[in-house]
Amino acid sequence: MGAFDWKSQVVVVTGASGGIGAALARELGKRGASVVLAARRPDKLAEVAATAGSSALTVTADVTKREDVARIAAAAIERFGHVDVWVNNVGRGISRHILDLTDDDLDAMIRDNVKSVLYGMQTIVPHFKERKRGHLLNVSSMLGRIPFAPIRSAYSASKAAMGSLTETLRMELSSGYPDVVVTCVYPGVVSTDFGVNALGGGPDSRSFPGGQSPEDVATVIADAIERRRGGDVYTRPDADERVVGHLRALASGT
C-alpha cells in the first residue's frame, strides 16, 4: 500500500462550526484534504471554511433532521464526485442527575447524540459499500465508557448507545466490506464551550485543569484517518488503560 494521499480525500465533518469540528476541518485542510463542513450556523461555518483549504465546501444543516443529512451527502458528491471519510461530530451535553431527568431531557439527548449519528451512518455507508471503500468516524466521549460525572447522566447514556451502534456496524461490515473502516473516537475533557452549551447550563469545560485542546483532538482524529485505523481511538494515551481497569472492577464486583 502506498503513502496516504490527502489530496485525493473528500472528508465530511459535521458540527464543524466550532470546537473539535472546526479544529478538525482546519487540520484536514492543512493536510490537503477537500473538506465539507456542515453545521447550523452559516456565519461560523464561513469563518472556519476560510481556514480549511481552498476547496472547502460549507453546507448549512441540522443533522438531527434526516433530510438535512441526506442534503450534506448530496452536496459533497455533487461537488467532488464521492465521499471518502465521514465524521459524525455533532453532540450536546446536559446537566441533570438521573433522578432529575425529564422525558424531554432524555429525548433531546437521543435526538442530538444518537439519531444525528444514526442518520449519518445510514446516509453515507451505502455510498461506501457501493465504492467498497470508505471511513466512518463517530466522535463519542470517555463518559460513554466510564460515566464518572453523574451530572452528565443522560449524555453518558447516549454516548454509550452511540458506541454500541458503532461497534455493531463495524461487526456487520467486517466480513463483506473489509475496506469500509469504522472508528469510534473517545475524547476526555476538551477545552471548548461544550459545558456552557449543555442543557441546564453547567461548568465551563475550559475551566477544568488538564483539558485537552480541540487542536490536539483534531490531530488524533486526522492521524486515525491517515492510518485508516478502525476500532476505538482514545485521544489521551492512558485512556484505554482506565477503561480496561473500570471494566475489570465491574466484572469483579468492586
Q: Could you give the residue numbers annotated as active site?
A: 155
* β partners of residue 57: 36
How far is residue 21's CA from residue 49's CA, in Å, rounded to a whole number? 11
Query: What CA–CA distances, in Å, run from 143 to 78, 187, 188?
Result: 37, 9, 8
Question: Degrees (nearest 5) of the Cα angle 50, 55, 61?
Answer: 70
Contact 169, 136 (CB under 8 A): yes
